Structures are given as structure tokens and as C-alpha cells.
């Protein structure tokens, strides 16, 4: 299979079934979708969503259309607009090569994100001109109506040629980029906030509040989003990798936390709360993991999240399976208590319903939700924007998958804003929570600089 053959098959499909259809065709085996993300500016990448360990990738090239969420509206308000964009007829060589929208939502949908989130609405979903798909062993591209097949041929040919060139002449290793801290969070103030919130929890005002921090960096040249994504893909293959572009900025990250997925009537959600560091020494690492499993503070925090997920899903599911004890999700530098929840959704329920029911979970907001969100507004001196919001995709059937926008950064040319948070309980030790925040900044600092992470 060659790029010329791809162009011919797209043209033939349109000639047989109509020019205004979405067309899905297979790609050559040597075509690597992730190579598109390596140079997003050159390739016109506007969004991507990946689970490397599952060999699942969606890469959106060009924007055919979009729908945006007005401030104050719920995620469900995008349903009608999404259905209109996906309503066209389809002709595909595989059922997996179907059109999908990529996008996400702000943590607080009650307002349009402010600085530094210019261009990011309260929520938005993008219809790609070209959607490159790798899913369950199928690799292909979905071409939106009106897109010239020659555009596909040119892009696929260029990416394959570049890959062959790299094999014959591997790139010269780049020195780590230096990032200068422009604005750091006030650690003394943050420690005071933790103490204040913990006292309020002990007084019965909340069960949990998640406090986040932001750090702003500046580099001596535009930050390479493609290089950062490649680093995250290599070092965090079990995470949900994402990049979403708007108004010249890219929100990217490697989140360990699935908010919710829906495929063929089966729903999955992940309760993730309670954290500990990893250690290079296996015996010490095992001890840290066991201590986390036995930690009363972390188990109570984790159960708060699981209880909220169960409560959100129970009214719209049957056969909901909620394990009684958590397991460890172990990543490169951190491990978490994890509970995977599965079930079958009732007829008529789509992924918009599920996102609306579950976001924000106590893992990123606290509990009770309204009170915790109000406290976050009082304690945090920055706009979270899309940090800790749902990021993912949806198709015409209402199936989709949204991760929580964690371990993330907003990159705009030479500037980067990094975000991290920690769940505060009544017995939280401020210095321990600060150490957790610092640990959660590590993956993105390493990805953006090319240094150790």
C-alpha cells in the first residue's frame, strides 16, 4: 500500500457513495500516527489523544468545524452540536475508521477560562479535517467531506519519507532545555491553606478539598510540544496522553486518571486517590506501596472518590462492579490507590451524560462538590482553566472516552504553565502535601526540558 493508492481509494469511495461522506481508509503498515505529533506545527495537528500501552491513538489534523460550550452550560449542552457535526454519511474500510470529535472542558464550566487560557472556551469539541486512528489493530485515516484526497497523500508521503530519513540518519541528541521560573506558587501561603482547609474538614465543613498550584516557566526559544509528547509517550505509556490546541497555545499532559469511557454499552471509570513516591530500590518501593495500601488517611480519601463515582453511575447502569479494595497503579515516579469500576449503561445513556454525572470527582475537587469548589475559589490564586477538566473524544453513537486533565501544562511559544494538586483531608500534614505537589510537577518539567524526570 502506498500513498498514491490511498488517494485513489478515497476518490473511488466518493465516486461510488457521494462526495459529502466521511471516508475511512487503511494506512500503510509503516505509517506511524504518533510521528504526526512529533512535529504538530508542520503537520497541522490540532488535537491528539493516546493510550500508548493499549496501542490506541487519535490524531486530529486540521479543523473542519467545532462546537463550543457557553460559560455556565453543562457538557450535555454540546450534544446537539456534536451530533450535527457527525451526522454525515460514512463509507469506511473498517467500522473503527469512523469520525470522532476531540476536545475537552474546563474544570469549572461556570466561567470562560481567563489568563493564560485565552482561546480556550468553557468546553470545545473539534471535527478534524483528517482524523488518524489506531484502534484494536486497525490503522487508518478518516477524511471529512470536502477534503481533497491529495491532502492525505501529501501528508502520509511526507511522514513516511521523514521516518525513513531518520532511520538512515538518526537525529543528533539535543541538550536539555533550560526553563526559568517566571512565577512560582507561594509555598508558605500554600502550607497555610492546607492547614486552614484541614481544620475546616475536622470541623465538619467538608470531607475533602483538592488544592492545586501553578508554576510559570520561560524558555530561551519556543518550547517543542512534539518533543515533550514523545518524552511523555516513552516514559508514561500507561497514561492517557493528550494535546489540545487553541489560539496558538497547547494544553498537553499524561494523565493517569480515566474519568469515564463508554464503548458498546460498557462503562468504565477509575477511582484514583492516595499517592506515594516510587523508589529505585525494589524493597523500598514495595514498602512504600504497602504503606500506601495500609494508610488510613489515603484509604479514606480514596473511598470518598469511589463512593462519588458509584453514586453517579448507579442510577444509569446495571451490573455495576465496584471492587471493595483498591490496588496500586504504579507509574514512573509515583504510585496511587486505584479502583476500576465497570458496568452496563441503560438505553439512551451517552458519554455526555456520564461526564456530566461524574465531573468533577472528589479526586480533583473534593467533597461535597459545591462546598469544595467554593473553597478552591477562595484558596487558589489562579485560574485552573482546562487543568483537571475532562479531555477526550466522542463519536456519533455517543461512545467516547474522557480522561482527567492532570500531570499537565499549557504551552504558549516560550512560556509554560504547569499545574499539580493534592487532596487535603482532616489529618493532612502540610509538608507532606507540599512534597506530593512537587512530585507531581516532575513529569512535565522533565518532558519540557528533556532533563531527568
**Distance between CA 160 and CA 139 in Å, rounded?**
14
**Distance between CA 449 and CA 231 in Å, rounded?**
10
207 contact partners, CB below 8 Å, separation of at least 6: 201, 304, 362, 366, 367, 368, 425
304 contact partners, CB below 8 Å, separation of at least 6: 207, 208, 273, 362, 367
- List the chain domain ranges: 3-168, 179-238+258-449
Q: Which of 207, 257, 301, 303 is catalytic?
A: 257
Query: For 117-140, how does the pLDDT look when each residue is reduced to its tens digit (9 = 90+)?
Result: 999 999 999 999 999 999 999 999
* 343 DSSP β-pair partners: 267
Q: For position 173, what pLDDT does the model report? A: 59
Q: Which of 50, 208, 375, 436 is catalytic?
A: 208
Calculated CA dihedral for residues 102, 60, 268, 120, nearest 10 degrees = -30
- Strands annotated E in 280-333: 317-321, 327-330
Annotation says 208 is catalytic: yes
Q: For position 175, what pLDDT does the model report? A: 55
Query: For 226-276, how does the pLDDT look when each residue is reduced to its tens digit (9 = 90+)?
Result: 999 999 999 999 999 999 999 999 999 999 999 999 999 999 999 999 999
Query: For 178-226, how does the pLDDT look when each residue is reduced to its tens digit (9 = 90+)?
Result: 889 999 999 999 999 999 999 999 999 999 999 999 999 999 889 999 9
Query: For the structural domain made of 179-238+258-449, what CATH number should be given?
Result: 3.60.120.10
**pTM for this predicted structure:** 0.95
Ordered per-residue pLDDT tens for the chain, 453 residues? 566 788 899 988 888 877 788 999 999 888 999 999 999 999 999 999 999 999 999 999 999 999 999 989 999 999 999 999 999 889 999 999 999 999 999 999 888 888 899 999 999 999 999 999 999 999 999 999 999 999 999 999 999 888 888 777 766 556 567 889 999 999 999 999 999 999 999 999 999 999 999 999 999 889 999 999 999 999 999 999 999 999 999 999 999 999 999 999 999 999 999 999 999 999 999 999 999 999 999 999 999 999 999 999 999 998 899 999 999 999 988 999 999 999 999 999 999 999 999 999 999 999 999 999 999 999 999 999 999 999 999 999 999 999 999 999 999 999 999 999 999 999 999 999 999 999 999 999 999 987 544
**Distance between CA 276 and CA 270 in Å, rounded?**
18
Q: For position 453, what pLDDT does the model report? A: 45
Alpha-helix residue ranges (DSSP H) falling in 169-274: 187-202, 225-235
Q: Which three cell numbers stand for residue 376?
A: 478552591
Reduced to 3 states (helix: H, G, I; strand: E, B; else coil), residue 127 is: strand
Q: How many residues does the chain have?
A: 453
* C-alpha 129: how far from chain center: 21
Amino acid at each position: 500500500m502506498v500513498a498514491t493508492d490511498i488517494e485513489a481509494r478515497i476518490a473511488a469511495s466518493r465516486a461510488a457513495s457521494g462526495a459529502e461522506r466521511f471516508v475511512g481508509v487503511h494506512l500503510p503498515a509503516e505509517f506511524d500516527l504518533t510521528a504526526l505529533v512529533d512535529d504538530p506545527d508542520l503537520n497541522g495537528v490540532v488535537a491528539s489523544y493516546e493510550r500508548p500501552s493499549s496501542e490506541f491513538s487519535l490524531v486530529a489534523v486540521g479543523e473542519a468545524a467545532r462546537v463550543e460550550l457557553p460559560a455556565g452550560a453543562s457538557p450535555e449542552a454540546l450534544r446537539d452540536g456534536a451530533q450535527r457535526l457527525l451526522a454525515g454519511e460514512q463509507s469506511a474500510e473498517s467500522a473503527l475508521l469512523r469520525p470522532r470529535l476531540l476536545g475537552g472542558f474546563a474544570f469549572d464550566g461556570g466561567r470562560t477560562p481567563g489568563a493564560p487560557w485565552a482561546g480556550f472556551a468553557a468546553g470545545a469539541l473539534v471535527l478534524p479535517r483528517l482524523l488518524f486512528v489506531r484502534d484494536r489493530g486497525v490503522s487508518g485515516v478518516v477524511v471529512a467531506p470536502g477534503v481533497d484526497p491529495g491532502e492525505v497523500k501529501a501528508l502520509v508521503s511526507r511522514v513516511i519519507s521523514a521516518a525513513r530519513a531518520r532511520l538512515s540518519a538518526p537525529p543528533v541528541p539535543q541538550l536539555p532545555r533550560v526553563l526559568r521560573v517566571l512565577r512560582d506558587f507561594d509555598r508558605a501561603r500554600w502550607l497555610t491553606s492546607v492547614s486552614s482547609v484541614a481544620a475546616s474538614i475536622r470541623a465538619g465543613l467538608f470531607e475533602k478539598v483538592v488544592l492545586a498550584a501553578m508554576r510559570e516557566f520561560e524558555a530561551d526559544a519556543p518550547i517543542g510540544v512534539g518533543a515533550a509528547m514523545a518524552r511523555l509517550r516513552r516514559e508514561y505509556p500507561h497514561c492517557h496522553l493528550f494535546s489540545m490546541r487553541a489560539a496558538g497555545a497547547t494544553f498537553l499532559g499524561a494523565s493517569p486518571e480515566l474519568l469515564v469511557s463508554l464503548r458498546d454499552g460498557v462503562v468504565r471509570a477509575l477511582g484514583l486517590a492516595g499517592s506515594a513516591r516510587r523508589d529505585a530500590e525494589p524493597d523500598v518501593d514495595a514498602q512504600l506501596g504497602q504503606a500506601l495500601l495500609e494508610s488510613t488517611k489515603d484509604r479514606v480519601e480514596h473511598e470518598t472518590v469511589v463512593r462519588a463515582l458509584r453514586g453517579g453511575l448507579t442510577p444509569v447502569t446495571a451490573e455495576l462492579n465496584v471492587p471493595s479494595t483498591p490496588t496500586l497503579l504504579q507509574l514512573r515516579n509515583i504510585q496511587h490507590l486505584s479502583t476500576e469500576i465497570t458496568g452496563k449503561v441503560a438505553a439512551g445513556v451517552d458519554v455526555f451524560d456520564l461526564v456530566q454525572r461524574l465531573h468533577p470527582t472528589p479526586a480533583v475537587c473534593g467533597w461535597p462538590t459545591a462546598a469544595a469548589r467554593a473553597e478552591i475559589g477562595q484558596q487558589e490564586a489562579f485560574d485552573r482553566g482546562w487543568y483537571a477538566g475532562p479531555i477526550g473524544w466522542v463519536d456519533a453513537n455517543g461512545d467516547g472516552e474522557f480522561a482527567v486533565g492532570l500531570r499537565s501544562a499549557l504551552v504558549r511559544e516560550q512560556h509554560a504553565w504547569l499545574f499539580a494538586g493534592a487532596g487535603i483531608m482532616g489529618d493532612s500534614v502540610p509538608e507532606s502535601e507540599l512534597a506530593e505537589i512537587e512530585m507531581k510537577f516532575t513529569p512535565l518539567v522533565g518532558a519540557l526540558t528533556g532533563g531527568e524526570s
